[in-house]
Amino acid sequence: MSDARILVVDDEQSMQEFLEIFLRREGFDVTTVGDVDAAVIAVEADDFDLVITDIQMPGRTGLDLLREIKQRSPETLVLMITAFASTDTAIAAMKEGAYDYLTKPFKVDEIRVVIEKALEKKLLSRENRRLRTELRTVQRHRTIIGSSPAIQRLFEVIAQVADTKANVLVCGESGTGKELVARDIHQQSERSGGPFVAINCGAIPENLLESELFGHVKGAFTGALYNKEGLFEAAGGGTLFLDEIAELPSHLQVKLLRVIQEKTIRRVGGTSDVQVDARILSASNRNLVDEVAAGRFREDLYYRLNVIQISLPPLRDRRGDIPLLVNHFIEKFSTDLGRSITSVDEDVMAKLMDHDYPGNVRELENAIERAVALSRDEGITIDSLPPGLSRQPQTDGPEIPAGGMDLDEALADYESSLLTQAMRQSNRVKKRAAQLLGISFRSFRYRFEKLGLESDSPES
């Protein structure tokens, strides 16, 4: 911050001249005055990044000036200097808001280091204010944070499709914000006054999913003690978001297709159809074209859901949004956790910018929540980041043999190894093994059977 403006306040002419020569050699813009009244006039007339003031001066003291500056220019940092070493004076100055305190005589290197640290803090504070301002500008009441070209294009697409009646399929890796996009489409649509109802099709047991979606009548099955409306009815006049649609069982794919075509549902155990009025938005982190080709997803349903497709970029492809997201999450978790985090160390931001984020925005959010919770002062430091963020990514992978290789066979062997390890670590309980691999039980069972792995393990 070589263009910083510094005000020197000292009643000794020799000290003014010494500091002026030293600071100008360091590249700073320097103004010098000899008393508090002149300093107040200077602060009112100009913006200074740092004020270096003697404490003991004739008339009003440096502590008086400190109070004046905090009232008139609270962002200006104040460095106190005195020839009277006093713990009480130092404590009083720090309590009043002084950045730091030096005792004369001091070494040139000492004051250089203190000034550098003060201006670094000032620069970080200024950058954080800029990012917060930009955040408020680009957010515009959105749930999606970003100003990169990819996100600007996303905003344009959302605005175009929001007021149509077309079904929308949102695609992207886990953690990219597919539900946020769905919510934004709903909020900008003519259905914004209606409910937004979301369900993760892979998170609900298959035997309960049909009842969740379509409802049931009393006595339809054991435990059905009363009539219950499903999510299609609950989303009436609004939007139903079907997340992880690829996990929908085949028999429910047939029923969903009928709902889309007929605009009616039939509750489990019911005998009559019920009209429904819900716009359907869906999402998947798997390639549905591949799922259709593999026979796991109905082609006719795919085309019904995929009238308009929105593809979300992974965070590693829009790294310019990381500082905005970091500041957004810092504000959010500082409020939630009762902390007062105001800055991010430069080495921390460098690490955050360099990471590839396989978990995308959700991974970054979790990292910042952890950092805010563990930070001991007003700034996030490198030791408060998750361990994975402080490790360099592995760049060396398996080598291709000189004679070539069968990629499908190699991938199948690797997948088989992981499935086998998961089964061993879960004591051969498939549902627990699926959880270890971060996939649904149905997906695990399909992969297990596809690879021809033998098991007499329990299903749960």
For position 446, which CATH number holds?
A: 1.10.10
Number of domains in the chain: 4
Q: Are residues 267 and 291 in the same domain?
A: yes
pLDDT value of position 291? 94
Q: Are residues 130 and 10 in the same domain?
A: yes
16 is a domain residue? yes
361 is a domain residue? yes
**Cα dihedral 16/22/24/30 (nearest 10):** -30
Tokens standing for residue 96: 């009043």
Q: Is residue 137 scored above 50 in pLDDT?
A: no
Q: Are residues 175 and 296 in the same domain?
A: yes
Tokens standing for residue 199: 């369900």
354 is a domain residue? yes
Q: Are residues 431 and 337 in the same domain?
A: no
Q: Are residues 199 and 340 in the same domain?
A: no
Average pLDDT, the chain: 85
Range of the domain at 17: 5-135
179 is a domain residue? yes
Q: Give percent of the chain with pLDDT exceeding 70.
A: 90
pLDDT value of position 306? 95
For position 164, which CATH number holds?
A: 3.40.50.300
Q: Is residue 139 scored above 50 in pLDDT?
A: no
**3-state secondary structure (DSSP) of residue 131:** helix
**3-state secondary structure (DSSP) of residue 454:** coil
Q: Which residue has the tokens 């911050």?
A: 1
Q: Are residues 94 and 166 in the same domain?
A: no
Q: Give percent of the chain with pLDDT exceeding 90.
A: 44
397 is a domain residue? no
Q: Are residues 111 and 254 in the same domain?
A: no
**3-state secondary structure (DSSP) of residue 7:** strand
Q: Are residues 308 and 322 in the same domain?
A: no
- Of 384, 311, 393, which is closest to residue 356 (Cα–Cα)? 393
Tokens standing for residue 23: 């600071």
Q: Give CA angle at 440 (318, 387), nearest 5°.
A: 50
Do β-strands 77-82 and 274-275 pair in parallel, antiparallel, or remain unpaired? unpaired
Last residue of a domain, one of 313, 341, 373: 313
pLDDT value of position 402? 64
pLDDT value of position 140? 42
What are 168-198's pLDDT values in tens digits?
999 999 999 999 999 999 999 999 889 999 9
Q: What is the mean pLDDT of residues 15-40?
A: 91
pLDDT value of position 426? 78
What are 91-112's pLDDT values in tens digits?
777 888 888 888 877 788 888 8
Radius of gyration of the chain (CA): 31
**DSSP 8-state code for residue 442:** H
What are 318-337's pLDDT values in tens digits?
999 999 999 999 988 988 88
Residue count (the chain): 460
**Cα dihedral 170/172/175/179 (nearest 10):** 0
What is the value of pTM for the model shown?
0.59
For position 339, which CATH number holds?
A: 1.10.8.60
pLDDT value of position 398? 64
pLDDT value of position 393? 47
**3-state secondary structure (DSSP) of residue 419:** helix
**Residues 243 and 178 sit within 8 Å (Cβ to Cβ):** yes
69 CB-near residues (< 8 Å, 6+ apart) = 43, 51, 76, 78
Bridge partners (DSSP) of residue 279 are: 239
What are 239-292's pLDDT values in tens digits?
999 999 999 999 999 999 999 999 999 999 988 898 999 999 999 999 999 999
Q: Is residue 135 scored above 70 in pLDDT?
A: no
Calpha distance 231→229 (Å, rounded): 7
User: C-alpha distances in angstroms, 325 versus 128, 330, 361?
Assistant: 12, 8, 8
Q: Are residues 304 and 361 in the same domain?
A: no
pLDDT value of position 222? 85
Q: Are residues 323 and 429 in the same domain?
A: no
Q: Is residue 395 scored above 50 in pLDDT?
A: no
404 is a domain residue? no
Q: Are residues 237 and 327 in the same domain?
A: no
The type of residue at 412 is: A
